[in-house]
Amino acid sequence: RLLLENAQQLVLVCGRRERYLRRDGAAGLAVLRGASLVVGLDGCIKAVGQADVIRNQFSEATFEKIIDCSGKCVLPGLVDAHTHPVWAGDRVHEFAMKLAGASYMEIHQAGGGIHFTVEHTRKATEEELFSTFKHRLERMLRAGSTLVECKSGYGLNLETELKMLRVIERARRSMDIGISSTYCGAHSVPKGKTATEATDDIINNHLPKLKELKLSGEIQVNNIDVFCEKGVFDLESTRRILQAGKDIGLQINFHGDELHPMKSAELGAELGARAISHLEEVSDEGITAMARAKCAAVLLPTTAYMLRLKQPQARKMLEEGVIVALGSDFNPNAYCFSMPMVMHLACVNMKISMNEALAAATINAAYALGKSDTHGSLEIGKQGDLVIINSSRWEHLIYQFGGHEALINYVIVKGKVVYQNQMCETMSSY
């Protein structure tokens, strides 16, 4: 179906079927020079290797599309392991409050934050939500993301949570971008309810309905999420909801230890969580427990940056053997679509290397979503999700802060070109 010829650099990320990479990817990050890649009609990678070897191997084959990648780099499609992309009612007015010194929780308690968005999302029609969601996903795709985790969580009642999940399901079925769907009904405690009442409602009403819709094939939900935080859902409520979600077959992938140390990491490791996000306030014991449990840490550089929080201890996590992934945390509070910018911020503010950042935004982010057997690296048998950049060194994707509009030449999903940037044909990305 597709032949990419003669790339200056072909960044495989993994060369030996690793499900994740720990610490500096220098040992694991595989880069081929003067290489080609073939994607078959089934959308999977059929061959990767030196250009002349591939040319001989496929000399009799005909291709739907051939792209000359001379002087360019080919990388795996980026994976965004944490987003909140379905909502109405942006919070641009709150940005000024934050800049003036209001904290996240102060805005939240004044009826802003999540509650402001919930109010608007409840009023929006499914069609309105789908329309804005679709445009957001298209912007993520143009920035190189080919697999995105998408959460509900601005409904906080069964009706609106299901409306959001239906919107996510519709995009999953109709768009090229890959989607991992997350039920996040425990994103905040709804007005008029206590945390215990909200927990009971989720366990007794929301999750049984989700199970029913999953079994009937109406909605595919992959993960369960809870905002485990002081003043939101405490450790015991979090445990109950996550366990109930796990019991209906959902992967545990939740918000923890963001604003206060909650022992979320220890809880996640104990429950067999696939991933925990944020972790700005994680304990040393929590880091050790996550490393032992192979529970991924999804770090969100935009959030720490925009809320002026202390940065998560990425270096300590990597040195202790935690699987570190990255996400944009796209939401009305952190309006960023771009995983290249997220990688740049992670390198500068969290002191991780460019190799580690690329692994965190590809194979490790795929692992955090339970998808690293099919996504996150350029290996035979994996899905043909690729990004081609108009540069002779792959590091430009991270080095050029906010420069991806002129740098990303093609985005390819399952061997199909879903975005081609004409600007790259007429100008140098330098």
Task: Output DSSP code: residue 77.
Answer: P
Same domain, 34 and 135: no
Q: Are 330 and 306 in contact (CB under 8 A)?
A: no
Task: Output DSSP code: residue 52.
Answer: H
Residue 183 lies in a domain: yes
Same domain, 272 and 314: yes
Task: Output DSSP code: residue 330.
Answer: B
Same domain, 216 and 263: yes
Same domain, 358 and 210: yes
Residue 236 lies in a domain: yes
DSSP bridge partners of 386: 76, 412
Task: Output DSSP code: residue 27.
Answer: T
Same domain, 353 and 382: no
Rounded distance between C-alpha atoms, residue 377 and residue 357, angstroms: 14
Domain with 251 in it: what CATH number?
3.20.20.140
Same domain, 72 and 87: no
Same domain, 314 and 178: yes
Residue 425 lies in a domain: no
Residue 235 lies in a domain: yes
Same domain, 72 and 85: no
Residue 427 lies in a domain: no
What is the extent of the structural domain holding 296?
79-369
Going from the C-alpha of 396 to that of each of 124, 346, 392, 407, the distances in angstroms are 40, 15, 8, 8
Residue 278 lies in a domain: yes
Residue 126 lies in a domain: yes
Task: Output DSSP code: residue 44.
Answer: B
**Residue-by-residue pLDDT tens, the chain, 430 positions:** 999 999 999 999 998 889 999 976 545 689 999 999 999 999 999 999 999 999 999 999 999 999 999 999 999 999 999 999 999 998 998 888 888 998 888 888 777 888 899 999 999 999 999 999 999 999 999 999 999 999 999 999 999 999 999 999 999 999 999 999 999 999 999 999 999 999 999 999 999 999 999 999 999 999 999 999 999 999 999 999 999 999 999 999 999 999 999 999 999 999 999 999 999 999 999 999 999 999 999 999 999 999 889 999 999 999 999 999 999 999 999 999 999 999 999 999 999 999 999 999 999 999 999 999 999 999 999 999 999 999 999 999 999 999 888 999 999 999 999 999 988 877 666 6
Residue 426 lies in a domain: no
Same domain, 361 and 337: yes
Which pairing describes strands 45-50 and 30-39: parallel, antiparallel, or unpaired?
antiparallel
Same domain, 331 and 394: no
Same domain, 336 and 401: no
What is the three-class DSSP state of 226?
Answer: strand
Same domain, 37 and 92: no
Domain with 389 in it: what CATH number?
2.30.40.10
Number of domains in the chain: 2
